[in-house]
């Protein structure tokens, strides 16, 4: 009579959910592994650390060796709706930010070389409206299996989490975007990371400028396109900037501030040779 010995190896679990995955061994042994999603997003941080250079991205280098990117994206797609539902809000928020950025970079790498991410669209569909992201099960209200980048930004991130700081975190692979962070967003430290990304964005004079003497603000067109988010969070775009822009305390006391929007560059934020 054959006998079976069940061996259980407890592996590190990064998350609140666990999945038991049987793996065939020899006929006398059954192996059960306890695995879970890595909420530190370490694999994504590794990709970013290797390819983010200041505010540019090394798409050429990543295209030559994209195994790390593809492996991380596979972990995003492997999350089940049941597991996702057990995560706290911060972890879900971080997941969607990282997913947006990772799938954006995947799309650029797939089509690289390109002068602009907009070149990856056509007359019928922009790159942001193409359904290529297999995460629909995590957003059942959208009733579709494949999501678009616009779905993640405008139907999940903005309306669900209601935090205008997200605009400093998601990156559209363009020079005009806020600088891409060289590490993944993590639920447990998300507030600090978002504040740091906002600071990096607002103190970059190529993207946002503040002139106290002239009482003039020249800022990214993001503040125009998504003004409702900033108004919701602070009452006005100027009030949001007064709250978040470092060393610009004059904004809070200014009775009149002129607000202008800078031209937005859709040139690919590619690392220069």
Residue 254 lies in a domain: yes
Residue 23 lies in a domain: yes
Inform me whether the pLDDT recorded for 249 exceeds 50.
Answer: yes
Q: Structurally, how many domains does the chain consist of?
A: 2
Q: For residue 174, what are the CA distances in angstroms to 55, 86, 112, 171, 202?
A: 10, 34, 14, 8, 17
Scan for tokens 């993001």, then name that residue.
222
In a shared domain, residues 174 and 82: yes
Structural domain range at position 19: 5-35
Residue 268 lies in a domain: no
190: CB partners within 8 A, 6+ apart: 90, 93, 94
In a shared domain, residues 26 and 120: no
In a shared domain, residues 128 and 201: yes
In a shared domain, residues 84 and 52: yes
In a shared domain, residues 31 and 116: no
Residue 176 lies in a domain: yes
Rounded to 5 degrees, what angle do the CA atoms 209, 96, 73 make? 115
Quick: pLDDT tens for 42-58.
999 999 999 999 999 99
Residue 92 lies in a domain: yes
pLDDT of residue 56: 97
pLDDT of residue 4: 37
Inform me whether the pLDDT recorded for 28 exceeds 60.
Answer: no
Q: Name the phi and psi angles at 270, rounded to 5.
A: -85, 145
Quick: pLDDT tens for 93-142.
999 999 999 999 999 999 999 999 999 999 999 999 999 999 999 999 99
Rounded distance between C-alpha atoms, residue 145 and residue 137, angstroms:
6
Q: For residue 215, what are the CA distances in angstroms to 66, 130, 202, 239, 258?
A: 47, 42, 16, 14, 6
In a shared domain, residues 24 and 74: no
Q: Lowest mean pLDDT of 3-7, 55-59, 208-212, 257-261, name the range.
A: 3-7
**CA nearest to 263, candidates 215, 202, 211, 208:** 208
Quick: pLDDT tens for 179-224.
999 999 999 999 999 999 999 999 999 999 999 999 999 999 999 9
pLDDT of residue 35: 62
* pLDDT band, residue 12 (cuts 50/70/90): very low
In a shared domain, residues 243 and 148: yes
**CA nearest to 171, candidates 261, 271, 268, 69:** 268
Q: For residue 116, what are the CA distances in angstroms to 129, 142, 146, 249?
A: 16, 29, 24, 36
Instruction: Indicate the pTM of the whole model.
Output: 0.87
* pLDDT band, residue 273 (cuts 50/70/90): confident
Mean pLDDT of the chain: 89
pLDDT of residue 19: 37
**CA nearest to 55, candidates 267, 260, 262:** 267
Rounded distance between C-alpha atoms, residue 47 and residue 11, angstroms:
24
Q: For residue 122, what are the CA distances in angstroms to 126, 132, 174, 217?
A: 6, 15, 18, 35
């Amino acid at each position: 009579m054959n006998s079976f010995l069940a061996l259980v190896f407890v592996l590190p679990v990064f998350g609140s959910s666990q999945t038991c995955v049987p793996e065939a061994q020899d006929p006398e042994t059954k192996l059960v592994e306890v695995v879970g999603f890595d909420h530190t997003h370490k694999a994504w941080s590794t990709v970013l650390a290797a390819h983010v250079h200041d505010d540019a991205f090394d798409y050429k280098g990543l295209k030559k060796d994209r195994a790390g990117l593809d492996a991380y994206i596979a972990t995003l797609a492997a999350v089940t709706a049941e597991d996702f539902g057990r995560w706290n809000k911060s972890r879900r928020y971080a997941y969607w930010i990282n997913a947006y950025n990772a799938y954006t970079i995947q799309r650029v790498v797939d089509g690289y070389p390109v002068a602009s991410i907009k070149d990856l669209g056509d007359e019928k569909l922009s790159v942001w409206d193409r359904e290529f992201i297999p995460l629909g099960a995590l957003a059942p209200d959208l009733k579709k299996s494949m999501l678009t980048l616009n779905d993640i930004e405008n139907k999940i991130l903005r309306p669900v989490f209601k935090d205008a700081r997200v605009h400093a975190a998601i990156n559209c692979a363009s020079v005009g975007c806020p600088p891409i962070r060289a590490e993944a967003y993590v639920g447990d430290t998300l507030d600090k990371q978002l504040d740091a990304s906002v600071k990096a964005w607002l103190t970059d004079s190529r993207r946002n400028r503040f002139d106290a003497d002239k009482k003039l603000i020249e800022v990214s067109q993001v503040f125009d396109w998504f003004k409702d988010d900033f108004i919701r969070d602070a009452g006005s775009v100027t009030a949001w900037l007064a709250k978040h822009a470092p060393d610009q305390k004059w904004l809070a006391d200014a009775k009149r501030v002129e607000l202008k929007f800078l031209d937005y560059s859709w040139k690919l934020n590619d690392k220069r040779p």
